[in-house]
Structure 1
Amino acid sequence: MLYNPPHFRENDRAVLVAHIARAAFATLVTQGADGPIVSHLPMLMRPDPAPGGALIGHVARANPQWRASDLERPALAIFMGPHAYVSPSWYPGKPEHGRVVPTWNYGVVHVTGRLVVLDDPDAVLDIVERLTNVHEAGFEHPWKVSDAPADFVRAQLKGIVGLRLEITAIEGKMKLSQNRAAADRAGVVAGLESCDEPASAALAGAMRETGSGG
């Protein structure tokens, strides 16, 4: 269960899907006989075949998660977005009354569903091609799976197993200072933009996009 106060809760599915596409990289958590099993992997959202859509990805065949997980229990994919420390010194009220404390702002989406293991070579190839096409799209000369010799690709596919997470629920939490006054939110954005860190700049952009940055 995600602790998700109402002022941070994001219910717009389009926003959640866009967050998943931007984050692209998931923490996949399943349950096994000895407790939680965790992998970190790129996952891509598809509008089918499950009614709520599905995530696809793959893991190494040597990774025990696909064998050891209880597939009758829900799996969880976590997509972490921009996050950064928020200094109390960025709030305009700090010099006046000092009643401010540090916090951490972030965006995250939790996707819950039924995990399906795909060990058919054609199904695994389809997943690899879809992931590759998405992540190569921004390059001037995108690499395609078909650029490699077919026998080499088939040999490589033997080392991985496909996964499909059939979605039953998506929950988003965007903790972007919505619980603060407008002046405080503007101060946080300015503070983040003053930091020489890509993550801070990305978080400031997210706050502006959502109207949390003044």
Structure 2
Amino acid sequence: MFIQPWDAALDDAEWRTWIADGHDFGILSVNGMLGHALSTVPTHFTVDGTALLIHLARPNPVWKMIEADPNVTFTITGDYAFIPGPWRAEHDVPPTDGVPTSYYAAVQFTCQATAVDEPEAKAELLRRQMAHFQSDGDHAPIERDQPPYGRMLPGIRGLRLDVTEVRATFTYDDPKPAGQRTDTARRLAERGTALDALTAAQQLRRLDRIGTWKP
């Protein structure tokens, strides 16, 4: 993932806070077998210290690839929007000469993957995930010898992704003048489609922290 200097995360707290704010679904990318393209799996995940926890169906063909090469990446994207060219045109050029772009946030983890197969370890992994995704506790106990989860455990495998590198980008036109960035956030709020409001909030948050970007 290419990251311009002005798009990089300002600190680890920035991307950690962004993930904790409901960005818990991403794409697992696994190296394909010799002669084949890589394989991707969309899935929810849970953060466990310096690792990510996920689980997948046992028949998923990705397991053979992970066993052959446990070096994987996991990517989360969000708060994205297409920015039309006229919004970005400099004040002294025709609006039609403005160059469009994409705004987005993304965090990419490089990881070492380890399968979790022992029944109690799988049950504990599921407990951790449920504590995050269904924190009200409105579910049956997750026990290896009790229904309903006990009979389902053989059908899944857990996966622990130990993070070795993190690359994060918040691409919101930070080198542009503050007035232009504020105006773009306003236009996003007015357009109000898809993730426009969230994208505008990210742009204003970065503007508040950075102000006028300096190399």
Question: Could you state the TM-score of these two structures normalised by the residue count of structure 1?
Answer: 0.86
Do 1:59 and 1:161's aligned partners in 2 also have CA atoms closer than 8 Å? Answer: yes
Give the 3 Å change call, closer, same or farther, for CA 70–35 of structure 1 in structure 2. Answer: farther
Do 1:92 and 1:187's aligned partners in 2 also have CA atoms closer than 8 Å? Answer: no
What residue number does 2:171 align with? Answer: 175
What residue number does 1:144 align with? Answer: 139
What residue number does 2:71 align with? Answer: 74
Do 1:46 and 1:55's aligned partners in 2 also have CA atoms closer than 8 Å? Answer: yes
More displaced 10-residue stretch of structure 1: 12-21 or 163-172? 12-21
**Residue aligned with 1:146, SS:** coil
Which structure 1 segments of 5+ residues have no match? 48-52
**Residue aligned with 2:55, SS:** strand
**Residue aligned with 1:19, SS:** helix
User: Percent identity at matched positions?
Assistant: 21
1:118 to 116, 119, 124: 116
Matches within 5 A, 1:1-214: 2-21=1-20, 22-33=22-33, 34-47=36-49, 53-70=50-67, 72-91=69-88, 93=90, 96-98=92-94, 99-137=97-135, 142-146=137-141, 150-211=146-207
Give the 3 Å change call, closer, same or farther, for CA 130–27 of structure 1 in structure 2. Answer: same
**Cα deviation per residue 1:55-83 (whole Å; 9 max; x = unaligned)?**
11111111111222255452100011210
For 1:208 and 1:176, the matched residues in 2 are separated by 9
Do 2:44 and 2:54's aligned partners in 1 also have CA atoms closer than 8 Å? Answer: yes
Do 1:129 and 1:145's aligned partners in 2 also have CA atoms closer than 8 Å? Answer: no
Do 1:23 and 1:81's aligned partners in 2 also have CA atoms closer than 8 Å? Answer: yes
**Cα deviation per residue 1:119-153 (whole Å; 9 max; x = unaligned)?**
1111111121211121223xxx5423418992221
Give the 3 Å change call, closer, same or farther, for CA 142–103 of structure 1 in structure 2. Answer: same
Question: Could you state the TM-score of these two structures normalised by the residue count of structure 2?
Answer: 0.86
**Residue aligned with 1:35, SS:** coil
**Residue aligned with 2:27, SS:** strand
Do 2:111 and 2:162's aligned partners in 1 also have CA atoms closer than 8 Å? Answer: yes
